[in-house]
């Protein structure tokens, strides 16, 4: 449990770092960054896979897929679900749909809590229920403020939940399964990188991108590996609740970059910040209890 908590929090910190680094990848646009992110992440994920001795899991998955066509289709579906989320995250700001997508990330943990409760009969501690209620209040205010929920909001909240549930059903919720997801996304990534106007010339012509693209790949590989590890080590509901750490960190990064939270947004962010604080308290109490045992 403790390893899962640490993996989730560190992954959120690294995702926040990626958010901070993204403006330095100009003049690439969001979809080009998606392509380069996948291509730059895969080599570092491969190194992690080999260093941790998990290549055997990839071989076993491929053998299972050859014997079970349904598993092969499941692997394609898993990669597609992940690819859509990685693409949507970068597509939305370019098309004025950042708010609906951000609302989806606020709704996602609550959907995961519900899925964990219904599908796996998971239970929450009293403090985790309190965090759920606080987060729910903040999300409800944001839904009212935004005037409802769009397809982008539902795609994030339901799509990511379906992705993690599918990985558990397929028994691919490990680094080997994640590596296959990234490998299957390479054709789409190449299309985004090479489609007209090609970004190859942009990367070649801007020396800062020679370093920034590999840094993006390294941070992305470690963050995604830790995120996938946390999804396996933690109950789905708790994993979902810990997902609130990331938007809180992204909000803090946005503040550091000069943005501000409007007065009308505090009834949304305030309860969610409080929910993260309650989760930190719950984790500290659990850690203290485990050390006494």
Tokens of 132: 């759920």
Q: Residue 170: what pLDDT? A: 94
Cβ atoms of 2 and 290 closer than 8 Å:
yes
Cα within 13 Å of Cα(224), Cβ side: 29
Domain count within the chain: 1
Instruction: Report the pLDDT averaged over residues 274-278.
Output: 85
Percent of the chain at pLDDT above 90?
35
At which residue do the structure tokens 């590596």 appear?
179
Q: Residue 83: what pLDDT? A: 93
Q: Residue 30: what pLDDT? A: 77
- pLDDT band per the 50, 70, 90 thresholds, residue 253: low
Residues whose CB falls within 8 Å of the CB of residue 214, separated by 6 or more in sequence, listed in order: 40
Q: Residue 257: what pLDDT? A: 58
CA distance 120 to 237: 9
Higher local confidence (pLDDT), 166 or 120: 166
Instruction: Report the pLDDT averaged over residues 11-26.
Output: 78
CA distance 119 to 123: 11
Cβ atoms of 145 and 279 closer than 8 Å:
no
Q: Which domain holds residue 274?
A: 2-292
Instruction: Report the pLDDT averaged over residues 89-107.
Output: 75
Q: Residue 94: what pLDDT? A: 66
Q: Residue 259: what pLDDT? A: 65
Instruction: Report the pLDDT averaged over residues 224-253.
Output: 80
CA distance 62 to 170: 12
Instruction: Report the pLDDT averaged over residues 123-145.
Output: 87
Cβ atoms of 221 and 44 closer than 8 Å:
yes
Query: Range with the lowest mean pLDDT among 61-75, 181-195, 196-210?
Result: 196-210
Can you list the alpha helix ranges (DSSP code H) found in 171-206? 175-184, 186-194, 200-205
């Amino acid at each position: 449990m403790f390893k899962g908590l640490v993996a989730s929090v560190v992954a959120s910190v690294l995702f926040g770092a990626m958010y901070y680094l993204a403006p330095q990848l100009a003049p690439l646009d969001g979809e080009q960054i998606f392509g380069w992110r996948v291509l730059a992440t895969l080599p570092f994920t491969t190194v992690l896979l080999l260093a941790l001795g998990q290549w055997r899991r990839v071989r076993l998955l491929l053998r299972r897929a050859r014997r079970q066509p349904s598993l092969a289709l499941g692997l394609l579906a898993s990669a597609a679900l992940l690819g859509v989320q990685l693409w949507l995250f970068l597509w939305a700001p370019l098309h004025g749909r950042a708010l609906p997508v951000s609302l989806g990330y606020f709704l996602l943990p609550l959907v995961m809590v519900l899925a964990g409760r219904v599908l796996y009969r998971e239970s929450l501690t009293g403090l985790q229920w309190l965090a759920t209620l606080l987060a729910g209040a903040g999300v409800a205010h944001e839904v009212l403020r935004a005037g409802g929920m769009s397809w982008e909001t539902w795609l994030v909240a339901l799509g990511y939940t379906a992705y993690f549930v599918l990985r558990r059903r397929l028994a691919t919720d490990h680094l080997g399964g994640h590596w296959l997801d990234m490998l299957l996304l390479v054709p789409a990534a190449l299309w985004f990188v090479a489609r007209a106007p090609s970004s190859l010339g942009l990367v070649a012509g801007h020396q800062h991108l020679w370093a920034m693209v590999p840094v993006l790949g390294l941070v992305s590989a470690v963050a995604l590996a830790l995120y996938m590890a946390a999804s396996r080590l933690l109950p789905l509901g708790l994993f979902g609740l810990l997902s609130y750490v990331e938007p809180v960190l992204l909000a803090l990064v946005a503040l550091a970059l000069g943005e501000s939270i409007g007065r009308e947004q505090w009834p949304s962010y305030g309860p969610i910040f409080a929910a993260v604080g309650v989760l930190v308290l719950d984790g500290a109490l659990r850690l203290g209890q485990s050390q006494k045992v």
